[in-house]
């Protein structure tokens, strides 16, 4: 595994902390995380609620800034990037899958999937086939014109997965992607993510507090109280 050899790393975190201050109270959500993740890994961040999973994923996904420490993405130190540069990097290199699906309600499944491409200014002639391909890949080829409110939870999350993959990112971040789904659907979603990870060598990091979903993962990061308590390589 490349990650263990320390070369060609996608993500490198060094003593990263995150402290939330709410008036007088300070919450140390992350207390010093050092972590290396290589291209193509399928990583689960596991831990009880409040352990800092969401915070960790937000920092890796560049939608939040660490309080201290070093965080590199694809070899670039990201804390020194401007907001616009981070936005560009998110658009090019990262796909997001949210717990609440976060589809745009006024757009159809197809339009939702095309969105990341259109944010970067891609022409419709290129965005359309890419989005159609991804929707077919997640098994929603027949539902492309539906608005999100006409789809089931599992279908919505499939649309979200198609949206996350349409830009062919190097990393997909999924924060508790199955928390709003029943067990069978949740299993299917994890299977789908695993399949896409294998097929295209896209790195996946997802968080969960459900042990049943961990069977598929290569690597398990056990988060406890803002610290990595243990790591486990499954394969």
Partner 1 sequence: MRTWFKIALRNLKKNRRRSLITLLAIALGFASVCLFGGFTQYMYDANQEAAIYGRALGHLTVFKQGFLEQGQLDPARYLLTTEEIESIRGICTANPQVVMVTPQLQISGLVSNGKISTIFIAHGLVPSSIDAFMNGMKLFKFLEFEGRKLEDDSPYGVAVAKGLAKLLGLKVGSNAVVLSTTVDGQTNALDMEVFQLLNVDTEFLNNKVMRVPLAFAQQLYDTRGADRMVVLLDRTENTEPVFKQLRTAMQELGLGVEIKTWKQLSQWYQKVRDMFDLIFLFLFVIVFVIVVMSVVNTMSMAVLERTREIGTLRALGLKRRGVLLMFGIESSFLGVFGCGVGLLLTFMVRAWVNFAQPTWTPPGISASVPLKIILLPSYMVSSGIALVALCVLASLLPALRGSRQNIVDALGHV
Q: Which helix (H) or strand (E) holds 9?
A: strand 9-22
Cα(156)–Cα(148) distance, rounded to whole angstroms? 6
Rule CB under 6 A: choose which of 20, 34, 76, 183 binds ligand ADP. Answer: 20
Cα(105)–Cα(103) distance, rounded to whole angstroms? 6
Nearest C-alpha neighbor of 145 from the set 119, 197, 181, 107: 107
Q: Determine, following the binding rule CB under 6 A, whether residue 27 of this chain makes contact with ligand ADP.
A: yes
Q: Determine, following the binding rule CB under 6 A, whether residue 51 of this chain makes contact with ligand ADP.
A: yes
47 binds, among ligand ADP, partner 1, Mg ion, none (CB under 5 to 8 A by kind): ligand ADP
User: Per-residue x/- mask for Mg ion, residues 21 to 60, rule CB under 5 A?
Assistant: ---------------------------------x------
88 binds, among partner 1, Mg ion, ligand ADP, none (CB under 5 to 8 A by kind): partner 1
Residue placing its CB nearer to Mg ion in the complex, 58 or 91 = 58
Rule CB under 8 A: choose which of 5, 8, 68, 118 binds partner 1. Answer: 118
Total of chain residues touching partner 1, rule CB under 8 A? 28
Q: CB 133: neighbour CB atoms within 10 A?
A: 14
Q: Determine, following the binding rule CB under 8 A, whether residue 102 of this chain makes contact with partner 1.
A: yes
**Helices 109-119 and 153-165: crossing angle, nearest 10°?**
30
Is residue 76 a contact partner of residue 86, using CB atoms and an 8 Å limit? no
Q: CB 153: neighbour CB atoms within 10 A?
A: 16
Is residue 94 a contact partner of residue 171, using CB atoms and an 8 Å limit? yes
Q: Determine, following the binding rule CB under 8 A, whether residue 218 of this chain makes contact with partner 1.
A: no
Residue placing its CB nearer to ligand ADP in the complex, 169 or 226 = 226
Question: Least distance (Å) from ligand ADP to the CB of residue 61?
Answer: 12
Strand order in the sheet with 76-77: 25-38, 9-22, 68-73, 76-77
Question: Least distance (Å) from ligand ADP to the CB of residue 206?
Answer: 12
Rg over alpha carbons for the chain, rounded to the nearest Å, is 17
Cα(first)–Cα(last) distance of the chain, in Å?
10
**Residue ranges that bind ligand ADP, judged by CB under 6 A:** 20, 22, 27, 29, 47, 49-55
**Residue ranges that bind partner 1, judged by CB under 8 A:** 58, 61, 63-64, 83-84, 87-88, 90-92, 96, 98, 100, 102, 104-107, 111, 114-116, 118-120, 124, 163
**Residue ranges that bind Mg ion, judged by CB under 5 A:** 54
């Amino acid at each position: 595994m490349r990650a263990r050899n320390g070369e060609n790393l996608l993500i490198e975190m060094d003593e990263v902390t995150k402290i939330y201050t709410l008036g007088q109270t300070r919450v140390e959500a992350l207390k010093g995380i050092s972590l290396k993740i290589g291209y193509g890994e399928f990583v689960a961040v596991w831990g009880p609620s409040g352990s800092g999973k969401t915070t960790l994923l937000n920092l890796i996904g560049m939608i939040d800034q660490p309080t201290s420490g070093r965080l590199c993405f694809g070899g670039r130190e990201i804390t020194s990037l401007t907001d616009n540069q981070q936005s560009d990097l998110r658009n090019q290199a990262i796909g997001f899958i949210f717990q609440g699906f976060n589809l745009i309600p006024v757009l159809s499944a197809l339009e939702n999937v095309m969105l990341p491409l259109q944010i970067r200014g891609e022409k419709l002639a290129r965005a359309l086939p890419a989005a159609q391909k991804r929707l077919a890949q997640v098994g929603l080829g027949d539902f492309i014109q539906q608005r999100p409110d006409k789809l089931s939870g599992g279908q919505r999350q499939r649309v979200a997965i198609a949206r996350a993959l349409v830009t062919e990112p190097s990393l997909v971040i999924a924060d508790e992607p199955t928390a709003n789904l029943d067990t069978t659907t949740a299993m299917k979603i994890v299977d789908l993510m695993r399949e896409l990870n294998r097929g295209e060598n896209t790195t996946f990091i997802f968080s969960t507090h459900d042990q049943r979903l961990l069977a598929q993962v290569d690597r398990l990061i056990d988060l406890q109280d803002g610290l990595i308590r243990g790591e486990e390589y499954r394969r």
